[in-house]
Structure 1
Amino acid sequence: MSDILGENIWVFIGLTLILTGGCAFLMGQAIAGTWRPYLQVVPYSLLLAATNRFLSFALFGEQLLAIVPYLVAVGVVLGFASFGFRLTRADQMVHQYPWLYARRGLLGWREIGSDT
């Protein structure tokens, strides 16, 4: 497991999931909150995952240039950022255009009058 994560499981949970994942969630919300397109989440996620790898290296002595742990961090960051983006965008659509859209679940919206 340490080969895939590139770090101790507790470091992964604390640093990658809690700290970096929380930052990624807020990043996704900030991008959606300013009505930017989803594609801007991707480069910011790559940078945040690189920051996560650097913090693992600097604070816990983990390997810096490891591709698999970086890709795992990118997946975690992109997942949290996408969730934050979609949650905020659904809220925006429903509150900005209440005559057009109604809430459909946590992450979605539907047109009013549409049965699908």
Structure 2
Amino acid sequence: MITSVPVFIGLTIVLFGGCAFMTGQALAATWRPLWQVIPYALLLGAADRFLGFALFGGPLLSPAGWLLDSAVLIAIGMLTYRRTQVRRMADQYPWLYVRTGPFTLRKL
């Protein structure tokens, strides 16, 4: 499934998680719909599988590993998307919205 826990943390969470973070920010900053995070994260999951195989000798064609990697990247991308969208809405429309938390808004 995964090569090892340090490889998973370093490759999936740190390296590709950073890519998913930037993807979520870019999609929210350009007012794209949330569902677009999913195909990008699936592609990042495939790239993660390839680098794990090429650099660390992990299994390349592991559907369970790919789904795990992709699920983590989707979660990171969607959370970042929502956080960025809330921040932008509160900053651009302060007469309409106020932030009540990192992921929530309240109408005035």
Note whether the superposition's TM-score is higher than 0.5.
yes
Matches within 5 A, 1:22-37: 22-37=18-33
Which runs of structure 2 are paired with 1:37-76 in the superposition (5 Å)? 37-76=33-72
Larger of the two Rg values belongs to structure? 1
Cα displacement string for residues 26-81 of structure 1 (whole angstroms, at most 9, x for unaligned residues) = 11001001111101101101100101001001111111000111110011100110
Alignment of 1:1-116 (within 5 A): 3=1, 6-112=2-108
- Where 2:58 maps in the other structure, the secondary structure is coil
Number of residue pairs matched by the alignment? 108
Deviation at 1:96, TM superposition (A): 1.2
Distance (whole Å) between structure 1 residues aligned to residue 9 and residue 96 of structure 2: 41
Structure 1 runs of 4+ with >3 Å offset:
none
How high is the TM-score relative to the length of structure 1?
A: 0.90
TM-score, length-scaled by structure 2: 0.96
> CA–CA distance in 2 between the matches of 1:7 and 1:79?
21
Percent identical: 48
Unmatched tracts of structure 1, length 5 or more = none
C-alpha separation between the residues in 1 aligned to 2:104 and 2:26? 18
